[in-house]
Chain A
Amino acid sequence: MEKTITMKQLFKMILLGFLVLTSQAQAADYVIDTRGAHAGIQFKFKHIGISWLVGRFNTFEGEFSFDEQDIAKTKIVVDIDVTSLDSNHAERDKHLRSGDFLDVSKYPTAKFVSTGVVDHGEGKVTVFGNFTMMGVTKEIAIESSMVGMGNDPWGGYRAGFEGTTTLNTKDFNLSLPPSNQVELSLYIEGIRN
C-alpha cells in the first residue's frame, strides 16, 4: 500500500510541527551561570552550639528548565564538586574534606535532581528532588522563590532563584555535632539557551 502526501497534508504537518516547537520553546532551558559566578551554594551549621559556621562550594554546575506558564513543570539538576568546599580556613577545609567528615576522596561529588515542583504562587515554590551526598540518596524539599527574570544588558535572557533546605546530616551518614544539621542555600542565575 502506497501513501502519498498531498500539499494540504504537508501544510498541516508543518503547521502542527511549528505549534509543537513553539509550545516547547516556552519551557525554556537555562544553564546556571557558574562560569560568570552569578550563582552560589552556601552551607551553614552550628559551631559548638554557640554560633553559625558559614562556607560554600566554589565549584558546581547545573541547568534548569522553567516555564512561567507552567511552573509545576520546572526541572533542575545541580552537580556539586564537594572537594571545592571552602569555609575560609584551609585547615578546617582539610578536616571537613577528610574521612572524619565528607570523605571527598571517596565521595567527590554531590548531586541534586528535582522530581517535582509545587507552585505556591507569587513566585514561591517548593522543589522536591533527590539529593545524593556521600553515596546516599534522599528526597529533600527546597523552599525556593524567584528573585527576578528578564533581559540582561548583554543580549541574553536570565532568570534568578534562591532556595534553602535543611539537611539532617545523619541521613547521609555524616556526623556533624552538635546539631547534625546543615542548612544549604542556593542562589542561582540561569542564562537561557
Chain B
Amino acid sequence: MILLHWLVAVTVFAMFAFGIWMVDLDYYHAWYKKGPDLHRSIGVLVLVVMIIRFTLRMTNPPPKLAASLSTWERVGATSVHWMFYVMILLIATTGYLITTADGRGLLVFDWFEIPAVTLDINNQEDLAGEVHWYLALVMMSLASVHGLAAIKHHLIDKDRTLLKMLGK
C-alpha cells in the first residue's frame, strides 16, 4: 500500500508536468503524437491503481494519525486523503471526455480501447479540457499541502508520520 502511494504520488506530479509540456509541443515535434498517447494511457493506469487503493482502503483499517494532531488537523488530513480519490476520478473522467468527444474510443497503449460514450455536449472537448486543467491545478495544490504537511511533521513536530510512509 505504501508502494502504491508513492507510485501514484510520483506519477501524478509527472503527469502534470508532462501534460503541460506536451500541449505546447510544436506540431512537427517527434513527441507531438506520442506524448498525448502516453499521457492518456498512463492516466487510465493511475485511475486503475487508485481504484485498487480505494478498495484496499475500504477493506483495511488505516494507520492511526499522530496523537499530537488537533481536531482541525485531523479533519484536514482525512478530507484531503478522500479528496485525492475523488480528484483522480474526476481528472481521469474529464481527460477521457476530451479524447472521446468525437465518438472514438480511448486507446490504452496498444493493449485495448475504452469505448466512447455519447453525451451530445456541444464542443465537449473544449469544456472537458477546461475542467481537466482546473481540476489538475486543484489536485496539485492539494498534493502540495499534503506533502508540505508531511515535511512539517518530520521537521517541526519531529514525529514519525513521514517515516512511517517511508516504511520505517
Binding site for B on A (CB under 8 A): 48, 83, 88-91, 93-94, 97, 177
Contacts and interface: CB of A to CB of B under 8 A. Distances in A.
Contacts of B100: 90
Contacts of A83: 123
Could you say which interface size class chain B belongs to? 10 to 19
B129 interface: yes
A83 B104 CA distance: 20
B73 to A, nearest CB: 41
B129 A94 contact: yes
B27 A90 contact: no
A83 B143 CA distance: 35
Contacts of B125: 90-91, 93-94
Interface of B: 27-28, 36, 98-102, 104, 123-126, 129
Per DSSP, chain A at the interface is helix
A182 to B, nearest CB: 15
Contacts, number: 30
A90 B36 contact: no
18 contacts: A83-B123, A88-B102, A89-B102, A89-B104, A90-B98, A90-B99, A90-B100, A90-B104, A90-B124, A90-B125, A91-B36, A91-B99, A91-B125, A94-B101, A94-B125, A94-B126, A97-B126, A177-B27
Contacts of B129: 94
A90 B125 CA distance: 6
Contacts of A48: 28
A90 B101 CA distance: 6
Given A90-B100, A90-B125, A91-B98, 8 more contacts: A83-B123, A89-B102, A90-B98, A90-B99, A90-B124, A93-B102, A94-B101, A94-B129
Contacts of B27: 177
B131 to A, nearest CB: 13
A28 to B, nearest CB: 34
A74 B25 CA distance: 46
B35 to A, nearest CB: 12
Contacts of A94: 98, 101, 125-126, 129
